[in-house]
Chain A
Amino acid sequence: MASAHAGPGSTYSGTVREPLILCLDTSDGGAVGLLCGEDPLGTERSGDARRHTETLTPMIESVLHGAGITPRDLTAIAVGTGPAPFTGLRVGLVTAMTMGRALGIGVHGVCSLDALGYAALVSAGPDAEVLALTDARRREVYWAHYRPAALADGPAPFDVHTLGGPGVDTPAEVASRFPDPIAEGAVVGRGAALYPDAFAAHAVPDALAAVVDPIVLGRITTARLGSGGDLTTAPRYLRRPDIHAAPGRKRAS
């Protein structure tokens, strides 16, 4: 670990081989975080949901550089697997898988909505529920329904328990299916903010502005590595490719 240099404000000493996880998500804008054991070492975010290819790798370089870390110091990569619009989602996934291959480290996938759901539930009681919603474009939302993960004894794990989803539907369909969390204002994510009539009547303004925190994604990954939870990196497209049957040919004469 001699190649690591502690940057300003960094807690990374480079002497103890703590897990050092690069956390990526491109389900909305691009987000990059660096997690050393329990400690976040840096985060960067781009709000531009149509320029992932341009912004993601420079943000990775910047976060690593800011923490005085070289890529070879990383021990794992956590990546959001969506659901998300296809092209942007693939930027995060192929970046994670390729870096993982090049560095010889594991790549772990977490449903991006899990991070939104966890952040909303972290201070809630064990019986709380939340509906996480993001923009699926085409007048639809991606959604998932959560309650806190709980063990029979001991501290609650850094994870969510998924009650339903992830899915993609129209706001009206989702609203009719989950009247209770919506009536209680237990919604999180910009999908709710986009369709205030369906979701936002009782919502907390901060929750409507919430985006995926890559550090939360990394912490869920750490919890699942310990518990043997699902860490598949398969993309959650949720929609089939658009395939339009070739139109009947028009006559030329």
Chain B
Amino acid sequence: MVQPLVLGIETSCDETGIALTRGLDLLTDVTASSMDDHARFGGIVPEVASRAHLESFVPTLDAALERAEVDLADVDAVAVTAGPGLVGSLTVGVSAAKALAVAIDRPLYGVNHVLGHVAVDALVHGPFPQEFLGLVVSGGHSSLLLVRDIATDVTELGQTLDDAAGEAFDKVGRLLGLPYPGGPHVDRLAQTGDPAAIAFPRGLSRGKDLARHPYDFSFSGLKTAVARVVEGYQDAGQEVPAADIAASFSEAVADVLVTKTLTACEAHGVNTVVIGGGFSANSRLRALAAERLGEAGVTVRIPPIRYCTDNGAMIAALGSAVVAAGLPPSTLDITIDSGMPLTDVLAHA
């Protein structure tokens, strides 16, 4: 049987992503990014991102259809990120998706961006096992999920209480005087430093904090600790050992993420972990996850980096899963939800 052709639309931040899937087959995935427009401001400027989405939307759609050699009339369902994300950015994608749904008379599915970061791995590594953990780490999110069915049965075990992992990297990049976005630059620098040079704190990892928040994360205190160390060297008129700081900081972030994930695997008897989101590009996280989860007999699935950053494929993948599960389509009056909870796979009116 031919699987339904699902068009996925992602505009939650600064990437306009459009992709087409049939079941677990990815036909095409096109992304237009306004990243370069933001770099000079040292962070995402929401209005700049929103304007770029409006300009990019139809050209990106055209490129996706052309590369997949399909016509809009062939599309069976339209899936779009309804949240979480930036309001102005989400508004462009959701409005466009509704317009498409009306114009081609096909069902609309407003889906959850964070779950998309997990769903996309099925396009790369095949069907998911009966039960697995999803670790979604990016500039906006750090969440640990217990997944029995990506469309119908996801439990949020924990999330960050303050900064996301990628956000902490961007902030530490700024502290160390590295260009925006800091994540890749800190990662590169860290590979030349000593991860044991400075013993940075591991948030929510001891005593009462750990007992109350076994699967939650906190990276704000860690970022402050890095700032104090940097200021200490500066105040003493000494050169800041940036590589050692970057390596020790990276080690602290990866250690907490992997340790809590491993604890959750053991507690729930799960032997597969899917890691997604832009921060899963981090080399120390990848290495430590492979090493420690691998030793415990846990299979680690991480999609290639281009599917870890925001893209349309993740939304088409989740759309395919939602269609396959037979969930009812969204109504045309669904709202965008910048803080969409992970318990919702679909947006509400």
Contact = CB atoms under 8 A, between A and B. Distances in A.
Given A53-B95, A53-B336, A56-B95, A241 B103 contact: no
Contacts of A102: 72, 99-100, 103-104
Interface of B: 41-43, 45, 47-48, 50-51, 53-54, 57-58, 61-62, 72, 87-88, 91-92, 94-96, 98-105, 174-175, 224, 227-228, 231-232, 332-336, 349
Given A54-B349, A71-B105, A90-B50, 15 more contacts: A56-B95, A57-B95, A57-B333, A71-B103, A95-B98, A96-B99, A97-B96, A98-B95, A99-B103, A103-B103, A235-B51, A241-B51, A243-B45, A246-B42, A252-B231
Contact of B91 (A60, A90, A96, A241): A90
Interface string A45-65: 000000111111110110000
Contacts of A56: 95, 98
A47 B23 CA distance: 41
A86 B88 contact: yes
Contact of A94 (B41, B96, B349): B96
Contacts of B43: 246
Judged by DSSP, the binding face of A is: helix
Interface residues of A, number: 37
A98 B54 contact: no
Nearest to A91: B95
B183 to A, nearest CB: 17
Contacts of B94: 53
26 contacts: A53-B95, A53-B336, A54-B333, A54-B335, A56-B95, A56-B98, A61-B332, A87-B87, A87-B91, A90-B95, A91-B95, A94-B92, A94-B99, A95-B99, A97-B96, A98-B57, A98-B100, A101-B72, A102-B100, A235-B51, A242-B45, A243-B47, A246-B41, A249-B227, A253-B231, A253-B232
Interface string A232-253: 0001010001110110010111
A71 B105 CA distance: 9
Interface of A: 51-58, 60-61, 70-71, 86-87, 90-91, 93-99, 101-103, 235, 237, 241-243, 245-246, 249, 251-253
Contacts of A253: 227-228, 231-232
Contact of B58 (A58, A86, A101): A101
Most central of B43, B58, B62 by chain A CB within 10 Å = B58
A235 B54 CA distance: 9
Nearest to B349: A54
Given A57-B98, A252-B227, A93 B54 contact: yes
B54 A94 contact: yes
Contacts of B87: 87
Contact of B48 (A70, A87, A241): A241
B329 to A, nearest CB: 13
Contacts of A243: 41, 45, 47-48
A51 B94 CA distance: 12
A78 to B, nearest CB: 15
Nearest to B98: A57
Nearest to A95: B99
Contact of A242 (B47, B62, B232): B47
Contact of B61 (A71, A90, A98, A241): A98
B45 A241 contact: yes
A57 B61 contact: no
Contacts of A57: 95, 98-99, 101-102, 332-333
Contacts of B51: 86, 90, 235, 237, 241
Contacts of A249: 174-175, 227
Contact of A90 (B41, B48, B54): B54
B57 A94 contact: yes
Contacts of B99: 57, 94-96, 98-99, 102
Contacts of B175: 249
B45 A252 contact: no
Given A242-B47, A252-B228, A252-B231, A97 B102 contact: no
B230 to A, nearest CB: 9
Given A98-B103, A241-B47, A251 B231 contact: yes
Contacts of A61: 102, 332
B320 to A, nearest CB: 21
Nearest to A237: B51
A233 B51 CA distance: 13
A102 B72 CA distance: 7
B18 to A, nearest CB: 11
Contact of A101 (B50, B62, B88): B62
A99 B268 CA distance: 47
A58 B95 CA distance: 11
Contacts of A97: 57-58, 96
Given A102-B99, A249-B175, A53 B50 contact: no
Most central of B101, B103, B349 by chain A CB within 10 Å = B103
B235 to A, nearest CB: 8
